[in-house]
Amino acid sequence: MWRVLGLLFLLLTVTGFPATAETLTGRVVGVHDGDTLTQLVDGRQQVKVRLAGIDAPELAQPYGQQAKQALSGLAFGKEARVESAGPDRYGRTLGTVFVGAVNVNAALVEQGAAWVYRQYPHDPMLPGLESQAQTAKRGLWALQSDQRCPPWDWRHKDPCGSPMVFKALEPEPPIVAGRCGAKSTCGEMASCEEARFYLKECGLSRLDGDKDGMPCEALCR
């Protein structure tokens, strides 16, 4: 009880989100990456949920695909409860996901499938779980140190997040000019670079829904 109230207070004071608690229940019908899923609420409304307090490797990073698989294993196709205090800046519902008695956010950190997102409010038990995973070399903590890059650095292109470094480690299928139209949705894109190619070179404007020049913001955030 006090943990939830504390989280709501931090969300209000630190992020500016309205401290309006909301509980969503429904089946998880999609998993986008290691910290974002889609929940079907009331059998008809699809809600995109960003797991609060954690940050999983991006899909193009080492352990990114494994992190997505970890979230899928915990939640996909299952009835879930989301405790939310409001949206994030991208309009996604920000919250803690529970499947039965399992706190999915915490389970991902415990498995080494996600970092604690210290830039934003988080459950105070998460750093301890992260420390345990690191000591036990679980998940991403089993990677070589030069393969581990916090995703917030990766997204901002800090030195450890240079895409050129990780392309060498995990080659992606090349984008072949002249093959526009093979893909049509953000869910089919393997990387931000591929989404940019389809937007700029193929004119696939649907990838830029808010018309800000940035395609598939879940990939290019």
The answer to whether residues 125 and 197 belong to one domain is no
For residues 143 and 54, state if they share a domain.
Answer: yes
> Does the annotation count 148 as an active-site position?
no
Does residue 155 have an active-site annotation? no
Note whether 35 and 138 are same-domain residues. yes
Contact 60, 172 (CB under 8 A): yes
**CA nearest 8: which of 89, 80, 82, 95?**
95
The catalytic position among 50, 110, 130, 217 is 50
* Within a domain: 154: no
- In this predicted structure, the answer to whether residue 167 has a pLDDT above a threshold of 50 is no
| Domain co-membership, 129 together with 181 | no
Q: Are residues 75 and 37 in the same domain?
A: yes
85: pLDDT confidence band, cut at 50, 70 and 90? confident
Domain that holds residue 202: 172-220
- Which value, in Å, is the radius of gyration of the alpha carbons in the chain? 18
136 and 176 in a single domain? The answer is no
In this structure, what are the phi and psi dihedrals at residue 204, rounded to the nearest 5 degrees? -85, 80
**Are residues 199 and 134 both part of a single domain?**
no
- Is 50 part of the annotated catalytic residue set? yes
Q: How many CB atoms lie within 10 A of CB 134?
A: 16
Residues 68-89 have a mean pLDDT of: 95
Question: What confidence score (pLDDT) does residue 179 get?
Answer: 52
pTM (2 d.p.)? 0.66
Residue 94 within a domain: yes
Alpha helix stretches (DSSP H) within the chain: 2-10, 64-75, 104-111, 126-136, 151-155, 163-169, 192-200, 217-220
Residue 194: band (very low, low, confident or very high) from pLDDT cuts 50, 70, 90? confident
The number of domains in the chain is 2
Burial class (CB in 10 A: 0-12, 13-18, 19+), 13: exposed
